Structure 1
């Protein structure tokens, strides 16, 4: 590990308060780095598990596009937060498995630091017990340092 400051910092976000805190942390700690916020909408998990058996393909598609629109809105909010702090923040919206998208994009931009909030989304307690959260999976799998913002 080197002592040099990261040049490219990827902030994984999901629209939660914790993601906002991760953006604020990255702006404060890495103001001179190239900051990029990335969000992934998983088409397979776009609320499909919450649909009743009466849900239609159109319902599923509407949910997916609504999630993308919501993401565009909170990504723009994050850019405004960074701008208020005098920091330039690029944003990226991709489709796919959340952890896979984040890790692949980190590699694509040759990120040397990952920042992620630890309390996000709307998972129930039983879901959190059954499956590790995105932050935990990123900490375990990333090949670069991860700052998990609590």
Structure 2
């Protein structure tokens, strides 16, 4: 179990540490039992021997875990993880950047269509609603129109 937990922490970006305890009596709190395993050993623990809350600008490290009773005994395994979670500021920055990209692409595509002489309100609405997919439809329609003109010349 220790090796699996060690691999999980080492291979995950979001898990920063793990604390494992074997509880002899389920009536006590998990923090009252000594640590059976702690990885990485150099990571700091709080006064209750749990992974401490750490606040950052883009991520917060929070403690989360589970308590698994061992069937047929009065013992349990308590596993606590330190997890990195994105903050609200990170989420809002992502939404803002996505919205900005969406609007700028729609403006660029609309100007491109207008300067090529295909300026119709329908294209602008398609760019605003479907963005890159709308521009792909526009490019396909222009290619089909050019192909159709070439075929009419030869006919």
Q: TM-score scaled by structure 1?
A: 0.27
Larger radius of gyration between Structure 1 and Structure 2: 2
TM-score by length of 2: 0.26
